[in-house]
Amino acid sequence: MTTTVSQAKPRPDRKSGRKPKGRKPKELSYNPKRPVWKERPSPLYQTIKTLVLVLFSASIIVPILLVVSTSLADKDQLAKAGGFVLWPERPTLEAYETIFNGPMVLNSLGVSAFVTIVGTVLALFVTITMAYATSRPVLFGRPVVLAVLFTLLFAPGLIPSFLMIKQLGLLDSLWSLILPGIFGAFNFVVMRSFFMNIPQELIESARIDGASDWTILWRIVLPLSKAVVAVVGLFYAVGFWNSFFNALLYINDHSKWPIQLLLRNFVVQGSGAADGLGISSVPPSQSIQMAVVVVALVPILMVYPFLQKHFTKGVLTGAVKG
Amino acid sequence: MNQTTEAAPALPAAGNVPAHAEGRPSPGKGKPAKASAPRTPAGKQGFRSRLRRDKQMLLMMVPGIVFLLLFFYIPILGNVIAFQDYQPYLGIGDSLWVGWQNFVDLFDNPDFLQAFWNTLYLAAWQLVFLFPVPLVLALIVDSLISVRIRRVFQSIAYLPHFLSWVLVIALFQQMLGGAGFINNSLRQFGLDPIPFMTNPETFPVLVVAQMIWKDAGWAMIIFLAALASIDASLYEAAAADGAGRWRRLWHITLPGLRSVIVLLLILRIGDILSVGFEQFILQRDAVGAGAAEVLDTFTYYTGVVGGGWSSGAAAGLAKGVVSALLIFAANKLAHRFGEDGIFAKKVG
């Protein structure tokens, strides 16, 4: 790892004097050539840089690799290695079969999937309509935007929110995991600033042709906004999948636990496999624990490439745009 | 800010369209004219005609407004229980008013004072040790010549941001916990295990390490964008005048990042009392309340777990008000230094 990075890095190309910084501030455009005015880094500086980057990356990759490998390792190798393996020699799915035979993991995966899917759809609906309606000079537009932005400044507090959910009769209902998350001010800002950049002429001309605001939103604005809808949708989905505290607050019934709460009780707090998952543990408990971690991890790893493709754009429209 | 950005696109339209818009159906199409009224800045049309014109837009705001009322503004009003002796069976209407008594009691409560102190202590750690890391990482990444290495590193570094805190703590536990990878290896070499995850004294280090692991890469993005927007000819001119690497960093890069740094600092300060709720609630049992109790966990354990609704709400309200005041103060300070701060920026 270290050698490949340090070998690949010093590749000065003095033939071209192009600057590496983009001319447009909005896009991160990279140019692989070192500009002529830039001196070659000293070996010491280069080593420190490489070390920082390699250590930081390793600290992220190694734990994940360790967990995945250990969940796949068979018991002989585990026993020999004393608990953890970096690479499974004879990969086996025994641990996964065991956790999926018990009722708890499958059930909580189902809960998490339901909350994530329904939550994301509702959240996109609320956010898109709200963002579009306030992205044009509309009656009451400004006070509504200010009312949203105020939520960034001040939080109503844990206890009143809890009492509200209780008052609505949502305790121990999956809706208590969905409804509080269906609108986020940050996502609203991202979406709205995107909508505001859609040329007014386009919308006015559709209006002159007699299109209603709904038609304009669905037929003109949304087709132009696929990227931002994808980003915001993925942000919401990741948020719903990852949310743990709402479940801790509002859900007592074990059959309605999302995967994160299961993970907390079983892995972080270390309740036994029998009460934690409703199974009797046959493979080593280490690989069972790891398998639960992996089950919560995999969906995120699966959407990560899509997220990564778009998120910089989304984050930057919300944050840096003046 | 908001006013100008919103009004600007509307003005040319107001100039171009009126021929069609003043009540006449547009030629060729038999559609009703009211749909084609342009959105002009306020004051040009009467309230009723604007109401009729924006009917559908207002309808679209309804779900969002209902959400805000139900899960934000009504709960804010619910904070009145901080001034009551709230009893769930009596409800807000019939519970006894006690004025500031709950707050007075809080400041006599050693647990609350401990939580308050812990919050400030951990926040200071975060501000000093967490804040510079993304900046340094961004400077390093920005100086990379190879696009490939840059991309690979960014892909790896952004990933943990999307993992839940439960997962992050679980991973840390598998690595550093009592039965974790490192302690396991130490034992195999005959060394004593090190209690990384349970030692209250080193808890701030652990917390900051976890935060760096999870979010430092992600926080880089904004710095990278700001770095990319610095005019490269400045560097070129400075280099031609003989400015070395560090002089360019000091005189070009850092001033170029100033407004972003100020913005992030303000956001950080507004968030300072939140320190990182899930992270603490997940580790409070392992480390003990003495080191890991912060204002938010205090609110949770006093209110929801212990049933002390009113004192929990009082602690939460105190925290919320102080946070909002901190943001205002930091923003004022930023204005004084000639920066936009957040209020101008966030409206977008």
- In this structure, of A162-166, A205-209, B5-9, B87-91, the range with the lowest mean pLDDT score is B5-9
Instruction: Flag whether pLDDT at B96 surpasses 60.
Output: yes
Answer yes or no: do A304 and B312 touch at CB < 8 A. Answer: no
Answer yes or no: do B36 and A133 touch at CB < 8 A. Answer: no
Which residues from chain A sit within 8 angstroms of residue B348, using beta carbons? Answer: 189, 192-193, 196, 317-318, 321
Answer yes or no: do B225 and A28 touch at CB < 8 A. Answer: yes
Answer yes or no: do A320 and B226 touch at CB < 8 A. Answer: yes
Residue among A49, A132, A139 whose CB faces B140 most closely: A49
Which residues from chain B sit within 8 angstroms of residue A84, using beta carbons? Answer: 174, 181, 184
- Every domain of chain B and the residues it spans: 101-346
Residue among B9, B72, B303 whose CB faces A158 most closely: B303
Q: Which residues contact B46 (CB under 8 A, 6 or more apart)?
A: none
Q: What is the pLDDT of residues B233-277, one digit of tens each?
A: 888 888 888 888 888 889 999 998 888 888 888 878 877 787 778
pLDDT at position A131, please?
94
pLDDT at position B62, please?
94
pLDDT at position A322, please?
34
Answer yes or no: do A53 and B153 touch at CB < 8 A. Answer: yes
Mean pLDDT of A126-137: 93
Among the listed residues B340, B299, B305, the one whose alpha carbon sits nearest the alpha carbon of residue B320: B299
Answer yes or no: do A164 and B347 touch at CB < 8 A. Answer: no
What is the chain A residue with the closest CA to B52? A139
Give, in words, the CATH class of B101-346: mainly alpha
Answer yes or no: do A8 and B149 touch at CB < 8 A. Answer: yes
Tell whether ipTM is more than 0.85: no
A85 confidence band (pLDDT: 50, 70, 90):
confident
Which residues from chain B sit within 8 angstroms of residue A217, using beta carbons? Answer: 60
CA distance A190 to chain B (A): 9
B134 confidence band (pLDDT: 50, 70, 90):
very high
Q: In the numeric block, which tokens belong to residue B251?
A: 């005189």
CA distance A101 to chain B (A): 22
Residue among B70, B158, B224 whose CB faces A308 most closely: B158
C-beta neighbour count of A172 within 10 angstroms: 11
What is the chain A residue with the closest CA to B218? A312
pLDDT at position B25, please?
40
Looking at per-residue pLDDT, the higher value among B346 and B228 belongs to: B228
Q: What is the pLDDT of residues B289-326, one digit of tens each?
A: 888 888 889 999 998 888 888 988 999 998 888 888 88
Instruction: Flag whether pLDDT at A132 surpasses 70.
Output: yes
| Disruptive mutation site among B81, B162, B198 for chain A (greatest number of A CBs within 10 Å) | B162
Answer yes or no: do A244 and B164 touch at CB < 8 A. Answer: yes
A64 neighbors A297 (Cβ within 8 angstroms): yes
pLDDT at position A124, please?
97
Mean pLDDT of A287-314: 84
Q: What is the pLDDT of residues A224-244, one digit of tens each?
A: 988 889 889 988 999 999 998
A313 confidence band (pLDDT: 50, 70, 90):
low
Answer yes or no: do B150 and A244 touch at CB < 8 A. Answer: no
What is the C-alpha separation between B63 and A20, in angstroms, rounded?
Answer: 46
Answer yes or no: do B316 and A159 touch at CB < 8 A. Answer: yes
Residue among B41, B270, B312 whose CB faces A137 most closely: B41
- In this structure, of A19-28, A125-134, B106-115, the range with the lowest mean pLDDT score is A19-28
**Phi and psi at residue B97, to the nearest 5°:** -80, 135
Query: Which domains, and CATH codes, for chain A?
Result: 2-92 (no CATH), 97-319 (1.10.3720.10)
Amino acid at B129: F
- In this structure, of A49-58, A99-108, B4-13, the range with the lowest mean pLDDT score is B4-13
Residue among A147, A213, A320 whose CB faces B68 most closely: A147
Answer yes or no: do A157 and B75 touch at CB < 8 A. Answer: yes
Residue among A10, A160, A244 whose CB faces B79 most closely: A160
A43 confidence band (pLDDT: 50, 70, 90):
confident
Three-class secondary structure of residue A36 per DSSP:
coil
CA distance B40 to chain A (A): 7
Instruction: Flag whether pLDDT at A57 surpasses 80.
Output: yes
Answer yes or no: do A156 and B72 touch at CB < 8 A. Answer: yes
CA distance B49 to chain A (A): 10
Work out the percent of chain B whose per-residue pLDDT is above 90.
21
Answer yes or no: do A290 and B188 touch at CB < 8 A. Answer: no
Answer yes or no: do A134 and B61 touch at CB < 8 A. Answer: yes
Q: What is the pTM of this model?
A: 0.81
Q: What angle do CA A233, A307, A263 make, to 5 degrees?
A: 85
CA distance A10 to chain B (A): 8
Which residues from chain B sit within 8 angstroms of residue A200, using beta carbons? Answer: 9-10, 12-13
Mean pLDDT of chain A: 81
Answer yes or no: do A25 and B229 touch at CB < 8 A. Answer: yes
User: Angle of helix B101-108 relative to helix B309-336, nearest 10 degrees?
Assistant: 90
pLDDT at position B137, please?
93
Residue among B9, B20, B146 whose CB faces A208 most closely: B20
Residue among B38, B245, B299 whose CB faces A159 most closely: B299
What is the chain A residue with the closest CA to B327? A153
How many contacts (CB atoms, under 8 Å) link A and B?
Answer: 366
Answer yes or no: do A193 and B149 touch at CB < 8 A. Answer: no
pLDDT at position B40, please?
57
CA distance A272 to chain B (A): 15
Answer yes or no: do B162 and A322 touch at CB < 8 A. Answer: no
Mean pLDDT of A128-145: 90
Which residues from chain B sit within 8 angstroms of residue A193, using beta carbons? Answer: 348
pLDDT at position A222, please?
93
Work out the percent of chain A whose per-residue pLDDT is above 90.
37
pLDDT at position A92, please?
84
pLDDT at position A312, please?
66
pLDDT at position B272, please?
78
